[in-house]
């Protein structure tokens, strides 16, 4: 069993790498003080052109969010509308059917049937648990991002959460790295949920603290930054 001290050292080392890659500055404003994270974690590496156009014109934005995370439709809509007053957001939650490959199959159907403006894809948790081949995982994400981009919606990837109270938490790290690599090399927007939740846990100095309630606020802040004129 991994000791608390060793777990803290591992968490600190991973956080240092992720914060460095993000070009972090000072903690950025958020809706509540307990959810403030370093500025660089909220700056997306790619564009959300369709979403920006709709927000600028005060048109409704249709969002599909895929993946089980405990984020409610109401909380995300409320957080988005607080960050972007005058805009309206219609969020539908689609549970993940399984691995990233299964998610992609589900997304192909959803995108064709509903024509969303923004796809938020929480990806990597089940692949990490199943120990999916990391190269296959990377190729699948690349193929999926290309397919979604060709059909018009914006895509926002969300990496796995930081869950220090789970003994196997470290299995997520390679998949977090692959999602970040795709985001960096292909300019696919990515919310750094893992690093953000890790930062909040370390800041609170309580590794068992549940940081999930902050995710809608962080997601809304990152999206609002990407669409500001």
Domains contained in the chain, number: 1
Three-class HEC string of 21-45:
HHCCCCECCCCCHHHCCEHHHHCCC
Which CATH number characterizes residue 82's domain? 3.40.50.1110
Q: What is the pLDDT of residue 113?
A: 95
Distance of CA 125 to the CA centre of its chain: 12
- DSSP assignment, residue 119? E
Distance of CA 224 to the CA centre of its chain: 14
Domain that holds residue 162: 4-227
Q: What is the pLDDT of residue 205?
A: 58
Cα distance between residue 180 and residue 193, in whole Å: 11
Q: What is the pLDDT of residue 210?
A: 67
DSSP string for 155-220: EEEEPPPP-TTSTTGGGGHHHHHHHHHHHHHHT--EE-HHHHHHHHHHHHT-TT---GGGHHHHHH
Q: What is the pLDDT of residue 201?
A: 86
Q: What is the pLDDT of residue 5?
A: 42
Q: What is the pLDDT of residue 42?
A: 94
| pTM metric for this prediction | 0.85
Q: Is 54 helix (H, G, I), strand (E, B) or coil?
A: helix
Q: Write out the chain's pLDDT in tens, 229 residues.
A: 444 344 444 444 444 444 444 444 444 454 577 889 998 999 998 999 999 999 999 999 999 999 866 788 999 999 999 999 999 999 999 989 899 999 999 999 999 999 999 999 999 999 999 999 999 999 999 999 999 999 999 999 999 999 877 777 889 999 999 999 999 999 999 999 999 999 998 876 554 456 778 899 999 999 999 998 6
Cα distance between residue 100 and residue 166, in whole Å: 21
Across 88-127, b (16+ Cβ under 10 Å) vs e yields ebebebbebeebbbebbebbeebbeeeebbbbbbbbbbbb
Q: What is the pLDDT of residue 170?
A: 87
Q: What is the pLDDT of residue 85?
A: 93
Token pair of 159 as six digits: 């990496």
Cα distance between residue 150 and residue 152, in whole Å: 6
């Amino acid at each position: 069993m991994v000791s608390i001290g060793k777990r803290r050292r591992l968490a600190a080392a991973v956080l240092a790498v992720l914060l460095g890659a993000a070009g972090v500055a000072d903690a950025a404003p958020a809706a509540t003080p307990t959810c403030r994270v370093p500025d660089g974690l909220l700056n997306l590496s790619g564009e959300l052109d369709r979403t920006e156009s709709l927000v600028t014109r005060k048109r409704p934005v249709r969002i599909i969010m895929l993946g089980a995370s405990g984020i409610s439709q109401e909380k995300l809509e409320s957080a988005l509308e607080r960050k972007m007053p005058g805009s309206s957001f219609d969020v539908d939650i689609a549970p993940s059917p399984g691995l990233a490959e299964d998610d992609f199959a589900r997304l192909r159907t959803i995108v064709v049937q509903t024509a969303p403006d923004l796809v938020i894809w929480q990806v990597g948790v089940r692949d990490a648990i199943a120990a999916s081949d990391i190269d296959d995982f990377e190729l699948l994400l690349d193929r999926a991002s290309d397919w979604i981009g060709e059909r018009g919606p914006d895509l926002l990837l969300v990496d796995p959460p930081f869950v220090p109270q789970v003994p196997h938490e470290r299995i997520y790290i390679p998949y977090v790295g692959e999602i970040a690599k795709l985001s960096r090399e292909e300019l696919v927007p990515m919310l750094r949920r893992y690093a953000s939740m890790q930062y909040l846990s370390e800041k609170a100095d309580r590794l068992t603290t549940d940081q999930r309630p902050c995710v809608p606020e962080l997601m809304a802040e990152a999206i609002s930054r990407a669409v500001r004129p």
